[in-house]
C-alpha cells in the first residue's frame, strides 16, 4: 500500500500537499472522537509545499510526501513534547531528536504529536492527562499503550506511518490492539537522543505502519550509530529492500512458557493456524525453553521504577514545566515514590539487584533458545483490550506486557503483526529475533503477511 503511494508521489500523481490535506481533513472530522493527536503541526502544509518543489526537481528524499505522526515524548523542534503530562504541558522542544533530523532529511512531513500514557507509564493509554485515545477498530475499547495515539493514528488512517517508544511493550501492545504493525528494534539500534526517558536502559524508539513495507522503510532510515547516544551500536543498517527479501529455511521457536502466560486461548488458536500455514512455506517448528520469562514483569517494574525516579529528578519546575509530583497522575506518582523507596540502600539489594539478576537469566534463556531457532513466535498481548474506563487491577494492567517485556529485558528485536479479529477486537502475533537480527525478523514477518493471514 505504502509502496504504491510512494510511486504515485514520485510520478506526480499525488502531491505531498494533497496527501497531507487528506489526512488533515480526516483528523478534523474524526479525531474529536479518537483523541489520537495532542498537537497538529501548523507548519505541515508549508513543509509539504516545499517538499513538492523538491519532488518536481527530482531532489526529494526517500520519505518525500509521507505524513508521519510522532509520540509526544520525542523532541520535535517547536512542537509540544508534553509526554501527555501536566508537568510539561507548556514545554516546546528546542531541538530535534536524532530520529526527527533523519526523517526531515528524507523529506517526511511531521503531521503532529500524538497522545500517550503519561510519561509512557501505562499499557492502555488511560493515564494521559489529556484523556484517553480510543481504539479506532473497536471504539469502546482501549487502544493499548503507552504509544496509544501513534497506533490509533495509523489505524484510523490519520497519517502514513508513526513513531513510538517501547520500554516494555509500548509499541507492540497498542499495535496489537489496533490491528497495525509495531516494531521494537534491538536496544542500541536507534538513537534515543531527544527521547524523554522512561527507563533508559530499556527504551527504544520504533515504528508503526499499516504494512511491513512501511515499517521496514522507516526503520532503515532511523537506525544507526549516533555519536549523541553512547548506547547506539555501530551495526550494519539494512536497506529496506534487504529487510523484505524472501527468507530461507526458517526455524520457528515456540515456548510453552510464553503460551502459558497467554490468558486468552483464542489468540493461541489463531497463532496455531499461522504456524500451520508456515509449514507450507517449508519452515520448521521447534519447542524452545524460556524458563525464566514468568519473572519478566516482576523484574521489569523495579528496574523501570528506579530509572524513572532518577529520570524525573530534573522536573523540579525550575527548568522544565512544573514540579512533577505536584501535577502528575497516580501511576506516575506510584513509580516516583516506589522508585525512591527501591533506591534506598536497604532496599536496593533486595529488589533492584535481584531484578537485574532475573533480567540476566531471561537474557541467557533467549541466547540459548536462538541457538536452536531463528525466530520465536508468541501472542503479542495475553488478552484482548478492556473497555475504556473499566476498572482493572494494577496486576492485570501490568500483566498486559507479560509477553512483550522479555524482549526489552533481553535487548532483542521484536515486531507485532495483525492476525485478524477475535470478538471484533484485533489481535497480534509477536515475532522475536536476536539482537540486530532485524533483517531475519522482517523477512519472516513479510512472508507471514504474504501468506494472507490477516
Ligand atoms: N506498560 C509498561 C509500563 O507501563 C511499558 C511501558 C512502555 O513500554 N513505555 O511501564
Residue 281, pLDDT score: 86
Q: How does residue 451 score in pLDDT terms, banded at 50, 70 and 90?
A: confident
> Domains (ranges, CATH) in the chain?
1-290+360-454 (3.90.1300.10)
DSSP state of 226: B
Residue 348, pLDDT score: 84
Q: What is the pTM of this model?
A: 0.97
Q: Over pLDDT 70: what percentage of the chain?
A: 99
- pLDDT (tens digit, 9 = 90+) per residue, 323-334? 999 999 999 999
Residue 453, pLDDT score: 55
**C-alpha separations of 438 from 255, 348, 403, 421, 443 in Å:** 20, 35, 19, 26, 8
What average pLDDT does this structure show over 341-348? 90
Residue 302: CB within 6 Å of ligand 1?
A: no
Contact 180, 286 (CB under 8 A): no
Which residues make Cβ contacts (< 8 Å) with residue 119, sequence separation at least 6?
73, 83, 84, 85, 87, 196, 198, 308, 312, 328, 332
Listed range (115-119, 151-155, 216-220, 348-352) with the worst mean pLDDT: 348-352
Residue 401: CB within 6 Å of ligand 1?
A: yes
Catalytic residues: 71, 146, 170
Q: How does residue 60 score in pLDDT terms, banded at 50, 70 and 90?
A: very high
Among the listed residues 171, 183, 185, the one whose alpha carbon sits nearest the alpha carbon of residue 223: 185
What average pLDDT does this structure show over 231-250? 92
The answer, yes or no, to whether residue 140 has pLDDT greater than 90, is yes
Residue 78 has a CB neighbour count (10 Å cut-off) of 14
Find the angle CA(392)-CA(130)-CA(424) to the nearest 5 degrees: 50
The answer, yes or no, to whether residue 454 has pLDDT greater than 90, is no
Which residue bears the cell 533481553? 410
Mutate to test the pocket of ligand 1, among 120, 296, 406 (most ligand atoms within 8 A of CB): 120
Q: How far is the CA of 357 from the centre of ligand 1 (A)?
A: 20
Q: How far is the CA of 452 from the centre of ligand 1 (A)?
A: 31
Phi, psi angles (nearest 5°) of residue 183: -120, 125
What average pLDDT does this structure show over 232-241? 92
Q: State the chain's maximal CA–CA distance in angstroms.
A: 66
Q: How far is the CA of 144 from the centre of ligand 1 (A)?
A: 10
Residue 123: CB within 6 Å of ligand 1?
A: yes
Residue 166: CB within 6 Å of ligand 1?
A: yes
Which residues make Cβ contacts (< 8 Å) with residue 372, sequence separation at least 6?
251, 253, 286, 288
Phi, psi angles (nearest 5°) of residue 18: -65, -45
Residue 280, pLDDT score: 86
Residue 350, pLDDT score: 87
Q: Cis peptide before 146, with omega less than 30 degrees from 0?
A: yes
Q: Which atom of ligand 1 is nearest to the CA of 331?
A: 4
Average pLDDT, the chain: 96
Residue 304: CB within 6 Å of ligand 1?
A: yes
Residue 349, pLDDT score: 83
Mutate to test the pocket of ligand 1, among 74, 119, 123, 184 (most ligand atoms within 8 A of CB): 123
Q: How far is the CA of 11 from the centre of ligand 1 (A)?
A: 42
Residue 185: CB within 6 Å of ligand 1?
A: no
Mutate to test the pocket of ligand 1, among 143, 145, 333, 403 (most ligand atoms within 8 A of CB): 145
Q: How far is the CA of 282 from the centre of ligand 1 (A)?
A: 36
Q: What would the grid cell of residue 22 be?
A: 487528506
Residue 168: CB within 6 Å of ligand 1?
A: yes
The answer, yes or no, to whether residue 381 has pLDDT greater than 80, is yes
Residue 74 has a CB neighbour count (10 Å cut-off) of 27
The answer, yes or no, to whether residue 97 has pLDDT greater than 70, is yes
Among the listed residues 361, 340, 363, the one whose alpha carbon sits nearest the alpha carbon of residue 351: 340
For residues 396 and 29, give the distance between their C-alpha atoms in angstroms, rounded to a whole number. 34
Residue 346, pLDDT score: 86
For residues 124 and 135, give the distance between their C-alpha atoms in angstroms, rounded to a whole number. 10
The answer, yes or no, to whether residue 423 has pLDDT greater than 80, is yes
For residues 196 and 94, give the distance between their C-alpha atoms in angstroms, rounded to a whole number. 13
Residue 52: CB within 6 Å of ligand 1?
A: no
Residue 146: CB within 6 Å of ligand 1?
A: yes
Contact 316, 323 (CB under 8 A): yes
Q: How does residue 248 score in pLDDT terms, banded at 50, 70 and 90?
A: confident
Amino acid at each position: 500500500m505504502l509502496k504504491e503511494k510512494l510511486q504515485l508521489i514520485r510520478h506526480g500523481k499525488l502531491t505531498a500537499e494533497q496527501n497531507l490535506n487528506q489526512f488533515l481533513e480526516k483528523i478534523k472530522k474524526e479525531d474529536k472522537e479518537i483523541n489520537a493527536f495532542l498537537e497538529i503541526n501548523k507548519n505541515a502544509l508549508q513543509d509539504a509545499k516545499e517538499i513538492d518543489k523538491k519532488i518536481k526537481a527530482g531532489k526529494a528524499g526517500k520519505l518525500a510526501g509521507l505524513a508521519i505522526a510522532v509520540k509526544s515524548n520525542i523532541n520535535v523542534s517547536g512542537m509540544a513534547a508534553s509526554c501527555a503530562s501536566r508537568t510539561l504541558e507548556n514545554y516546546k522542544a528546542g531541538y530535534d531528536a536524532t530520529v526527527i533530523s533523519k526523517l526531515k532529511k528524507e523529506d517526511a512531513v511531521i503531521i503532529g504529536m500524538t497522545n500517550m500514557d503519561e510519561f509512557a507509564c501505562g499499557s492502555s493509554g488511560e493515564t494521559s492527562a489529556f484523556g484517553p485515545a480510543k481504539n479506532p477498530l473497536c471504539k469502546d475499547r482501549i487502544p493499548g499503550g503507552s504509544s496509544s495515539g501513534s497506533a490509533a493514528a495509523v489505524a484510523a488512517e490519520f497519517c502514513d506511518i508513526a513513531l513510538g517508544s517501547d520500554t516494555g511493550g509500548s509499541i507492540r501492545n497498542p499495535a496489537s490492539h489496533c490491528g497495525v504493525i509495531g516494531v521494537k528494534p534491538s536496544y542500541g539500534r536507534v538513537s534515543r537522543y531527544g527521547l524523554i526517558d522512561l527507563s533508559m536502559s530499556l527504551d527504544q524508539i520504533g515504528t508503526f505502519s499499516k504494512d511491513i513495507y512501511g515499517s521496514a522503510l522507516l526503520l532503515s532510515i532511523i537506525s544507526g550509530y549516533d555519536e549523541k547516544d553512547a548506547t547506539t551500536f555501530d551495526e550494519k543498517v539494512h536497506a529496506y529492500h534487504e529487510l523484505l527479501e524472501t527468507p530461507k529455511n526458517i526455524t520457528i521457536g515456540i515456548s510453552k512458557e510464553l503460551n502459558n502466560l497467554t490468558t486468552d486461548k483464542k489468540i493461541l488458536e489463531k497463532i496455531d493456524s499461522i504456524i500451520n500455514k508456515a509449514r507450507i512455506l517449508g519452515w520448521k517448528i521447534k519447542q524452545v525453553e524460556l524458563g525464566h520469562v514468568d519473572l519478566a514483569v516482576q523484574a521489569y517494574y523495579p528496574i523501570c521504577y528506579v530509572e524513572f525516579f532518577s529520570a524525573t529528578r530534573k522536573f523540579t519546575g525550575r527548568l522544565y514545566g512544573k514540579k512533577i509530583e505536584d501535577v502528575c497522575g497516580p501511576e506516575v506518582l506510584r513509580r516516583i515514590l516506589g522508585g525512591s523507596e527501591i533506591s534506598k540502600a536497604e532496599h536496593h539489594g533486595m529488589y533492584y539487584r535481584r531484578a537485574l539478576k532475573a533480567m540476566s537469566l531471561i537474557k541467557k534463556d533467549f541466547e540459548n533458545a536462538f541457538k536452536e531457532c531463528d525466530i520465536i513466535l508468541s501472542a503479542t498481548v495475553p488478552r484482548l483490550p478492556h473497555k475504556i474506563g473499566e476498572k482493572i487491577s494494577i496486576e492485570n494492567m501490568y500483566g498486559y506486557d507479560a509477553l512483550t517485556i522479555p524482549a526489552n529485558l533481553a535487548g532483542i528485536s521484536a515486531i507485532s503483526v495483525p492476525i485478524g479479529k477475535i470478538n471484533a477486537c484485533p489481535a497480534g502475533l509477536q515475532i522475536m529475533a536476536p539482537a540486530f537480527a532485524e533483517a531475519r525478523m522482517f523477512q519472516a514477518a513479510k512472508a507471514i503477511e504474504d501468506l494472507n493471514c490477516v
